Amino acid sequence: MLNRHLRLPASWDDAERREFVDEAAQQVALRVAELADDWADRAVTEWGRRHWRLPDCESQAELVREARRSALVAVLCDVLPDVPVADFFEVGLTGVNGN
């Protein structure tokens, strides 16, 4: 899927393309993780303020999942602005459903 959206030099061989994509994926994953952690913390705190107690285990897990999804979408939209992010979800991007 990424090959049709990335404009890598035609002179690169498969190993060079794979190395570039692997490094870029690591950087994106780090950004997503950092943003998701921040957003999850905020979501749990806000939930607690609204309900005057901490969320139960299930509610907290859902808040964290939603923060991860939102962070993933935000980072993908930033990194790949010309790509319809919905395309990734249609093909089942690993990790989107909390896997």
Q: pLDDT tens across 30-47, in order?
A: 999 999 999 999 999 999
pLDDT band at 98 (very low <50, low <70, confident <90, very high): very low
When mean pLDDT is compared over 70-74, 83-87, 93-97, the highest value belongs to 70-74
**pLDDT 10s digits, 45-77:** 999 999 999 999 999 999 999 999 999 999 988
When pLDDT is averaged across residues 72-95 and rounded to a whole number, the result is 73
The counts of H helices and E strands in the chain are 4, 0
Better-scored residue on pLDDT, 75 or 97: 75
Could you tell me where the DSSP H helices lie in the chain? 2-5, 14-51, 57-79, 86-90
pLDDT score recorded for residue 97: 39
Residue 77's alpha-carbon distances to 6, 16, 54, in angstroms, are 14, 24, 32
Q: What is the pLDDT of residue 7?
A: 79
Mean pLDDT taken over the chain: 85
Beta strand spans in the chain (E):
none
